[in-house]
Structure formats: C-alpha cells, structure tokens
Amino acid sequence: MAIASAVRALLHELATPLTVLMSASDILHNRTPDVIQQSLDELRDISHQFGREVVELRTNLPNRIDQQSAVQAAAQIQQWVTDRQRHAIRLAELVGEIQAAAIHLPEPLLDKLLNQSLFGGLSELERVLSRLATLQAGDLESFE
C-alpha cells in the first residue's frame, strides 16, 4: 500500500503544474491578441489532454501501476512519462512562442498569468517530469 500512496502523491505533484497551465490558459482564452491566440489555444488543449491522462492514470492506478513491486512500479511510471514527453516538448515550444511575442496585457492579473504563470507552470512541470523519468524503486519505498 505504501507504493500506491507514493504513486498517488507523485501524480498529485504532477497535476499541480498542469492545473496552473490549464487554469491560466482557460482564463486567458480569447483575452489575448491574435498573434498569440493560436499558441495559447493549443497550449490549453494539450494541458487539458495531459491533465485528463493524469486523472485517468490516477483513476485506474491498480490496473496500470504495480502496487506490490517498487521496481516494477518505477519502471511503469518511467514508461508512462516517456510516452507523454511529446506533451511536455510541445508545451515548452508553445510557452516559448508566447514569451517571444513579448505581449503585455493592460490588466495586471492577466499580464501576470501570461508572463509569469505559464512559464512557472511549465518550469514546475518539467521539474516533476524529470524526477518521474528517473524514478527508482527506492524513491517509492522511501517516499514522504
């Protein structure tokens, strides 16, 4: 059961930056200049898809991740992350495109979402994915 708790905690850790990306892109939807709207819409779609995949994994955890063997669970998580690297790569490209446009919005909250929250969410997502991609059995056994 300790393995299942560790995996749930790690998935929660992964869901947090995805929630930032989903929420920021939802709020910014149709509130930004046309020059970045397509990138923002794609970011929104991908972050929501990735978020759904995390929820699906969490919901089907007993069927998807071995809860008896930390070695097997770590390998399954690593594979799951590897299979979703395309999401992270595309999200990074999109945030880069949005930042390169150097748009500043007149509303301070929207500007902060656009120019800080998207980058912050992406940075945290990359950190968590990196951690999960190198996960070892001992990490699951000693997880706190």
Distance of alpha carbon 46 from alpha carbon 91, whole angstroms: 7
At residue 1, the pLDDT reads: 60
At residue 141, the pLDDT reads: 85
At residue 80, the pLDDT reads: 97
User: Per the structure block, which two tokens stand in for 115?
Assistant: 């120019």
Residue 72, CA distances (Å) to 24, 117, 129 in order: 35, 35, 18
At residue 13, the pLDDT reads: 96
Quick count: other Cβ atoms within 10 Å of Cβ 96? 13
Written as tens digits, the pLDDT of the chain (144 aa) is 688 899 999 999 999 999 999 999 999 999 999 999 999 999 999 999 999 999 999 999 999 999 999 999 999 999 999 999 999 999 999 999 999 999 999 999 999 999 999 999 999 999 999 999 999 999 898 875
At residue 143, the pLDDT reads: 72
DSSP 67: S
Instruction: Tell me the H-state helices in the chain.
Output: 2-28, 34-59, 61-64, 70-83, 85-100, 108-112, 118-133, 137-141
Residue 122, CA distances (Å) to 8, 15, 139 in order: 21, 12, 23
